[in-house]
Structure 1
Amino acid sequence: MSQPARSALSLRQVLIVPYVALVLLLAIVIGALSYVAGSRAVATVSDHLLIETVGRIGQAVDRHVVGSGAVLEAVFPNGMPAPASIGSDLANLRTRLWIATSLHIDPNNYAYYGNRAGQFIGLWRNSLDDGELRLKLKGDEPRTFFNFQGINGELHEASRETKVYDPRVRPWYKAGESAKLHTWTAVYIDYRHGGLVATRARRVLNAAGEFEGVVATDISLKGLNDFVSTLALSKNGIAFIVEPNGDLIASSASANIARQPDGSNKRLAAADSGHPLLAATYSEVRDTLASLKQAQLPQTRTFTGPGGQTIHAAFDRVKDDAGLEWITVVAVPASDFMQGVTANVVRTGLVGGIAALLAVVLGLRILGWVTGDLRRLSKSARAIGDGDLESPVDVHRNDEIGQLARTFETMQERLRTDRLTGLANREAFMRRLDGRVGRHRRAADIGPFAVLFVDLNHFKQVNDRLGHDAGDKVLTEIAERLREAVRASDFVARYAGDEFVVLLDRVESREQAERVRAHIEHVLAQPLRSVDPTPLGEQALGGAVGMAIFPDDGDEAESLMRFADHEMYTRKFGARGETPWADYHATPR
């Protein structure tokens, strides 16, 4: 009878080898799960952050172009007939052009009108006080340029063109003539400053209801390009704005205009930008947009880019009722998000192997510690992906996972913070205000609170006379003053430009809020310390402060902001003895 084969392994080996193998297998499984969890966390966070960023670009586009419609309506309000001759209504036209170019002097500092007789009038604002009137009252004569100061300043002839300028053959005139409503011309290169410009135009009828002429305004797109170029993206991330035909409007990765051998300028298309990631991203977005409706945007896409990289991208389509249609895009390589996750998973497997050889219990504790942090990171990432930018990552490590966690926290902070002043930004303030309203509705805090809307006086003169660097210093100083003027429980944010907002978390009465407002106005009126105010003359900076009390003046965040904004403009223009432009500021900007 044959004997059963004996095992060549000792009992110790029989007990240890399977157990060690199991622990090693467990380490491998945990490493794989950790990698998957980290990848999903990164995908969730990246999608959210990219959509947030492409949304910020869309808001910047909207703020840049939204004032152009008001400019045209200020020159020729809806229903106002155009005169048969510019000369018969020259004074009124000049006044309305001055008012129109005062509404949004940056970027709408040029408005003009041409009629079917070939006459032309245009007003170019060099500054808040200086203007240039461009005029021709006969169709066959060249334009004459006049310099003047103030709305009714005396005209001084500066120059006369040598060639006859016929508005009737210009693209803006033809576009306005053929469109029944507002319309945009194609983006073009301005021959004066060599930058990209878009023109908004509208036809104007005479008293008989017949076509008489076209009113238009130019918008420089340099501000959009500057905004996109300064977006806080990752090391290799890019952002750009492009027309549906592929021509670049703004880009953080390449120029949008190329100099030709003959000295002329030519617009660059995304495919010809010389930036592989930009060209590949536009190609992916172009093919995807063709199958999407506006309601399905914004969208995110993950695709394989140059060099086999995995690319995360987000894109949206910006449209308005005048025919503008631009595409905003943000793209970041996945490796920028992942950072040290892959290396950390390998390290986790090595730790598990060492733990299996040295002490199974210690190894399991280490693996549990690592996976616990990854689970917390994944949980926090899901919260961020759901729109909660206040959710703490709650991972405190000094290795790659900690570095990834701090990267997420930094990205959260950048989305919440105004880069110049260090205050919270507009989005963070609106989320805080929505939360405060919600807390009141849940009866967690039934006390009233107040919103203050602060707009600086004469800030444009600081930029004009002292320079934009000085303007930045002044904004930083004002931000510090506002922080010091309110309680620690109150919330201060930069809303836009030279506008700030304050949430007074709790006020006992309207009188208490009025005292705070008076204190802030006093603080703002103090002499500037960060710059030499001598070139500003006797004109103090100061500011107008609008106020809204919850719930007396509004029971929603938007209604509170609208009320405070309107009151601020009432106080601002009332102090000057002027009538506020309430129609243009009926909603928060």
Structure 2
Amino acid sequence: MNEPMHPNPEILRNSVLKLYFDAQGAELIRLRCEFLLQHNIWYQRQQEILRDNQVLSVALLHASAINSSTVAQLDQLTHDSQCDTLTQTLNRSIMLDRIEQAISLSKRKQRTFALLFIDLNNFKPINDQYGHAAGDAILQQVSSRLQHAIRDSDAVSRHGGDEFLLLLNDVNHPQDAGLFAGKLEQLLAEPYHLATGEVSLSASIGIAQFPADADTAMALINHADAAMYRVKQKGGASAR
């Protein structure tokens, strides 16, 4: 009867060590593969994030440009809805609101203000002789002079063909409005430049003061209008 063979201890130990190192190697390979896989996933995710960020940046720039354009268009529409197209002064309805606001503020703070009604003298012959384009050019120059002559708190509007209203806020003394109107008369009497040469005009200015002359917007306009016609008939200086 054959006796059982006993494994050689040295061979057995070597086999165990080989299996152990093989297992360790396999684990290292597994960990390495897992690391590379995770690193690849992370890299791909980073690339996706970068692409997404680039797309978002482009979208934000585009949206910002659209927003800026929209705001500019809204500002322009607001301006156009409030201003006279030719002279870029306030239109009649907006000026009426400004006068009513001035009345409310003046009542609350116990202040006074003046409303000037400005009419260009002998304006029709300019249109007849030089054409309406020349008349429009003069109206634009008149509005520019008026707007440069006032403060930010004041306002100018085109009331009619060659008529303007000027709201002069915070008038400290009754004579101040008359002094200012006298300076306007001189300013508006300076020559106007046209393509065909220079022309000269004068202006008649009527003044209404709140609350001495009237206490509503329309009443102030009517008072200043009547005062302007008295000035025009007399051919004199501006008056209330």
Pairwise CA distance, 1:502: 0.7
Task: Indicate which of 139, 142, 148 corresponds to 1:475.
Answer: 139
TM superposition score normalised by structure 2: 0.67
What residue in structure 2 maps to residue 226 of structure 1?
Answer: none
Tell me, yes or no, if the aligned pair for 2:113 and 2:209 is still in contact at 8 Å.
yes
**Partner Cα separation in structure 1 for residue 214 and residue 197 of structure 2:** 39
What residue in structure 2 maps to residue 463 of structure 1?
Answer: 127
Higher strand share: 1
Task: Indicate which of 204, 208, 220 corresponds to 1:548.
Answer: 208
**Inter-CA distance 511–423: structure 2 relative to 1 (3 Å threshold):** same
What residue in structure 2 maps to residue 33 of structure 1?
Answer: none
What residue in structure 2 maps to residue 117 of structure 1?
Answer: none
Aligned residues: CA RMSD: 2.4
Is 1:574–2:234 an aligned residue pair?
A: yes
The residue identity in structure 2 corresponding to 1:427 is S
Q: Per-residue CA shift, 1:281-339, capped at 9, x if unaligned?
A: xxxxxxxxxxxxxxxxxxxxxxxxxxxxxxxxxxxxxxxxxxxxxxxxxxxxxxxxxxx
Tell me, yes or no, if the aligned pair for 2:142 and 2:188 is still in contact at 8 Å.
yes
The residue identity in structure 1 corresponding to 2:101 is G
Is 1:564–2:224 an aligned residue pair?
A: yes
Q: Which has the larger radius of gyration?
A: 2
Pairwise CA distance, 1:497: 1.0
Tell me, yes or no, if the aligned pair for 1:473 and 1:531 is still in contact at 8 Å.
no
Tell me, yes or no, if the aligned pair for 2:106 and 2:113 is still in contact at 8 Å.
no
Number of residue equivalences: 179
Q: Per-residue CA shift, 1:202-261, capped at 9, x if unaligned?
A: xxxxxxxxxxxxxxxxxxxxxxxxxxxxxxxxxxxxxxxxxxxxxxxxxxxxxxxxxxxx
What residue in structure 1 maps to residue 193 of structure 2?
Answer: 529
The residue identity in structure 1 corresponding to 2:105 is R
Pairwise CA distance, 1:451: 0.4
**Equivalent pairs: percent with the same residue?**
32
Any residues of structure 2 matched to 1:305-344 within 5 Å, and which? none
Pairwise CA distance, 1:532: 4.5
TM superposition score normalised by structure 1: 0.29
Secondary structure at the residue paired with 2:115? strand
**Partner Cα separation in structure 2 for residue 433 and residue 512 of structure 1:** 19
Structure 2 unaligned segments of length 5 or more: list them.
Answer: 1-47
Pairwise CA distance, 1:520: 0.6
What residue in structure 1 maps to residue 70 of structure 2?
Answer: 404
**Partner Cα separation in structure 1 for residue 223 and residue 113 of structure 2:** 14
Q: Mean Cα displacement is larger for which, 452-461 or 405-414?
A: 405-414
What residue in structure 2 maps to residue 426 of structure 1?
Answer: 92
Pairwise CA distance, 1:401: 4.2
Pairwise CA distance, 1:526: 1.6
**Partner Cα separation in structure 2 for residue 528 and residue 575 of structure 1:** 21
Task: Indicate which of 437, 461, 465 corresponds to 2:103.
Answer: 437
Secondary structure at the residue paired with 1:503? strand
**Partner Cα separation in structure 2 for residue 505 and residue 532 of structure 1:** 38
**Partner Cα separation in structure 2 for residue 554 and residue 423 of structure 1:** 24
Q: Per-residue CA shift, 1:106-164, capped at 9, x if unaligned?
A: xxxxxxxxxxxxxxxxxxxxxxxxxxxxxxxxxxxxxxxxxxxxxxxxxxxxxxxxxxx
**Inter-CA distance 488–407: structure 2 relative to 1 (3 Å threshold):** closer
Is 1:501–2:161 an aligned residue pair?
A: no
Structure 1 unaligned segments of length 5 or more: list them.
Answer: 1-356, 371-396, 577-589
